[in-house]
Amino acid sequence: QFTKKHYETLSDWYLKAPFYEDVSKFVLPLYQRQYGTLIEIVCETMLVAFDIFGIQAKIVRASDLKATGAKSSLVFNICKEVHADAYLSGEGAKEYFADGDYEAFKKAGIEMMFQKFNHPVYPQFNAGEFIAGLGCLDILFNCGIQKSNQIFLENIERSNV
C-alpha cells in the first residue's frame, strides 16, 4: 500500500523535526484514506497545502474541461472556459507564449503574471548541508506553519506582462 509506506517514510524522517506534532495533524488524515489514483492524493495534498498557506484556489483538472489547443492556445482556452481574470505561472512557462499571445490574453481581460520562485534556505534539523527542492512538508516540519508562511511570501517575485 503506497500511502502507508509513504507515511511511514515521512514519519521516520521527520519524527524528531521541531514542528512534527503541529504539522502531522494536517498530514496524517491524508494517509488514512484510500486513493484510486496518484492524482487523487496529489490533489488532496495540494488542498491541504493551500489551507496551511492561506491560498484560496479551486483545483480544476484540464481533463474535466472542453478546452482544446496546444501550448498557449490551450492555456488561453482553459482560462476562457473557467472565466479566469488572471493567469499565474512559473517563469518557465514564458516559453509557451509568442508576443501576440500576450495581446490576446489582454483583450480577453486575463492578466498574465509570471512567478520567479527564489528557493529559501532554512534550518533543516536532519541535514548537515541544506537540501533544496524537498517540497512544502520539509519547510513546514522544520520551521512550523507561521514561519513557513513568512518564508514562502518573502521568496516570491511576480512580474506582470
Average pLDDT over residues 104-121: 90
Question: What is residue 14's predicted lDDT score, i.e. its pLDDT?
Answer: 94
Per cent of the chain over pLDDT 70 is 96
> Is the pLDDT assigned to residue 84 strictly greater than 80?
yes
The single-letter code of the amino acid at 22 is D
11-27 pLDDT, tens digit per residue, is 999 999 999 999 999 98
Q: For strand 86-90 and strand 111-117, is the pairing parallel, antiparallel, or unpaired?
A: parallel
Average pLDDT over residues 109-122: 88
Question: What is residue 158's predicted lDDT score, i.e. its pLDDT?
Answer: 63
Most confident range (mean pLDDT) of 27-36, 52-61, 71-80, 125-134 is: 71-80
The mean pLDDT value of the chain amounts to 89
Q: Identify the bridge partners of residue 113 per DSSP, sorted by sequence position.
A: 88, 160
For residue 56, name the pLDDT band (cuts at 50, 70, 90).
Answer: confident
- Could you tell me if 154 and 120 are in contact, meaning their C-beta atoms sit under 8 angstroms apart? yes
Vertex 136 angle, CA 138 and 7, to 5°: 65
Question: What is residue 104's predicted lDDT score, i.e. its pLDDT?
Answer: 93
Per cent of the chain over pLDDT 90 is 47
- Could you tell me if 90 and 117 are in contact, meaning their C-beta atoms sit under 8 angstroms apart? yes
